[in-house]
Each structure stands twice: as C-alpha cells, then as structure tokens.
A and B are shown apart, each in its own frame.
Chain A
Amino acid sequence: MGKLTKEEEVLLSSFSATSSTKGTFFFYVNALILAVAPLYLFYGVHQMELSESWIVWSVSAVSTAYLLSLACKNQKRLLKHQIVMKRGPAVDREINGKYATDKKMTIKEKEERALFRKNEVADTESTYLSIFYTNTLFLTIMLVSAFFLLANIAPVFNLLLSTTGSAALVAFLSTAKN
C-alpha cells in the first residue's frame, strides 16, 4: 500500500465516523456538566453530604460522564449520515451560487468543495443535535427515576441507579443501528 496523499487523507477524514477534536472536547465538557449537576440535586434534595458520600459521587460522576460522552459520539454518528442526506442539495446550491462566476474552477473541484462543506455542516449540526438529544433523554430519565420511581429508596442506591443507570440506558439506546 502506498502512502496516502494529503488530499486523500482529508477526503477520508471527511467520511469517517470520528468527530473533530473540537466536537469531542465539547462532548466531554457537556458530559462532565451533566454528570456533576445531578449531584447538586442529591446534595440539596436527598440530603447527601459531601464528606460522607464523596466516593459514591465520584464513582457516579466518572461513570456517567463516560457513558454520556459515549452516547453523544454514537448518536452523532447516526445523525451525521442523515444530516448529510438532508442538507446535501442546499449545500450544493450554496457552493454553486458562490462559485458561479468563477470560471477557472472545474466541476470536479466544485463537487469536492461541496462535499467538504457538506461534511463540515453535518459535523457541526450533528454535534449540536446529538448533545441536545442525549441531554434531554438523560435528564428526563434521570429526573423521573430519581424523584418519582426511586424517590423512597436509600439516597446512595437512588443516586447510582438514577444517574449511572440512566446514562447507561441512553448509551445503550444510542448504539441502535437504524
């Protein structure tokens, strides 16, 4: 196998499922916020003390953050493909309009640019949408289980089941193959 050229690498990366570094960073930050925020509720509403339950809290925060970032990544992979299909014509039109006057550009070059732009648009949109989708799903399941379904069991088990459990459920749902 010969070495890939720079152009080929760009082309490959634009079709790969892995997200950009900026997107991944956003995923981790979001997952961390979502993992830590429920602990505040458990502190306030279920009367857990930092000094007594920091071990359970850190276990819950780390596992929840990991599962949520996993869920976001999986969800993004699913959404990206759909968004590329949906936005395709619009992006083509945008690129065509932009370079309509440029007569030096070949059709192939225009197509490549459109492809690149499609990938870019789909990447950002799927990042946002996957975060929104994962967050809403996680928050709904977590709040319902923590304050309705498991409201009367011991706070430690309630915390672990409702945060890590919901995150695991969300991660599981995101592994669907469409």
Chain B
Amino acid sequence: MQFSLFFLLVAAVTCADVGTQTKDAFVLAHKQPLSTYAVENMDFVLEYGLYNVGDKPAQKVTIDDRHSFPTNSFEIVKGLLHVHYEKIPAGGNVTHSVVIRPRAFGFFNYTAAQVTYYTDNENLHVTLTNTPGEGYIYRQREYDRRFAPKYTYFLIFFFIVAPTTLGSFLLFQQSKARFPNIVKKKTT
C-alpha cells in the first residue's frame, strides 16, 4: 500500500514536470491593434508579439499576415506583413509593428496571422496568433463628426435662434420703456 502510494507520488511529480517544462522551443504569438479606431484613409497600427517560452531557441521564425490585409482593401504604409527572424533565443521575445491604411469603410474581420518556426533546424511548427475579431472601419466623415469639437454647431444654433427670440425681447423692452415712464411721471 505504502509502496503504491509512493509510486503514485513519483508518477505525479514526473508528469507535472513534463507538463510544465518544455525542452524544445515553443513560441506564443499575439496580434493586436494599437489604434483604438480604424478609420478609412487614416493610419492603423497593428502589433505582433512573439514569445519563446521554450528552453531552446526557435529558428527561422516567420510571421505571415498577408492574407489578412488584401491590398485592394488596405494600403501598407510602413512595415512588412511577412517578416523573418533567424533566431529567437529561449525566453526571448520580439514585437513587430505594421502601419496600414484601410481603403474602405464598413465591418472587417481581422483574422489570425500565421507563425512558423523550426526547432532544431528540422521540425517545422506552424502556429496562429489570436484573432482580434470583427471591427468597424469608420467613414472619415463619420469619424470627424464624432470626434471633432461640437461647439461650432451650438454657436450656429444660437445664431439661428437669436433673431426671433432676442429680437422680440428687445422690441418688447422698447415698447415697455415708452409707456411706464409716463405712468411714473403721473404717479409722482
């Protein structure tokens, strides 16, 4: 009984060790937009991050995101959608940013980027980043109207409304001033 318990304990520890420790290179990847709003014809910044959480360096790492941003809907302003790193050391991380510019407005589905790397120069690993999901690309005019200051609208509104409102008040005051004066003279 005691022996079997000890055996189970040893087995559990070994398994846990296997589960938590990766002997090979192991790359985690993420993709996220840094810009809060996507607007047509305005820059949109994306960031990719690679983390090698394994114990060995990852070789010939590539990020390929060309399929996510077709050139008929997006213009690439700065950066590459297909990058290559020779080596990411164990425990190291790499971030990569791309600036793109949407050509049209509407809903757009941001899909995952593909990351490939080799462990020990022969085992090819293919992995995907997370998916930012569906986002809305604003119309330029909509964006301007939404985020530009609104006080000019209120000012113009005041000028539309003022002539009748203040004008009638002034005319009333004028007429009032003409008559009570006589009353005052009469009473004094």
Contacts and interface: CB of A to CB of B under 8 A. Distances in A.
Interface of A: 29-30, 33-34, 36-38, 40-41, 44-45, 47, 86-87, 89-91, 93-94, 121, 124-125, 127-129, 131-132, 135-136, 139
A11 B150 CA distance: 53
A131 B161 CA distance: 12
Interface string B149-169: 010111011001100111011
A37 B168 CA distance: 17
A45 B179 contact: no
Contacts of A124: 171, 175
B179 A87 contact: yes
A47 B145 CA distance: 7
Given A41-B154, A121-B179, A132 B186 contact: no
11 contacts: A29-B164, A30-B164, A33-B161, A37-B160, A38-B157, A40-B160, A44-B153, A45-B150, A90-B180, A136-B165, A139-B165
Nearest to B171: A128
A129 B169 CA distance: 6
Interface in B133-188: 142, 145-146, 150, 152-154, 156-157, 160-161, 164-166, 168-169, 171-172, 175-176, 179-183, 186
B153 to A, nearest CB: 3
Interface of B: 142, 145-146, 150, 152-154, 156-157, 160-161, 164-166, 168-169, 171-172, 175-176, 179-183, 186
B173 to A, nearest CB: 9
Contacts of A44: 145, 150, 152-153
Nearest to A87: B179
B168 A132 contact: yes
- A-B interface, 7 closest residue pairs, ranked by CB to CB distance from nearest: A44-B153, A128-B172, A90-B179, A128-B168, A135-B165, A131-B168, A90-B182
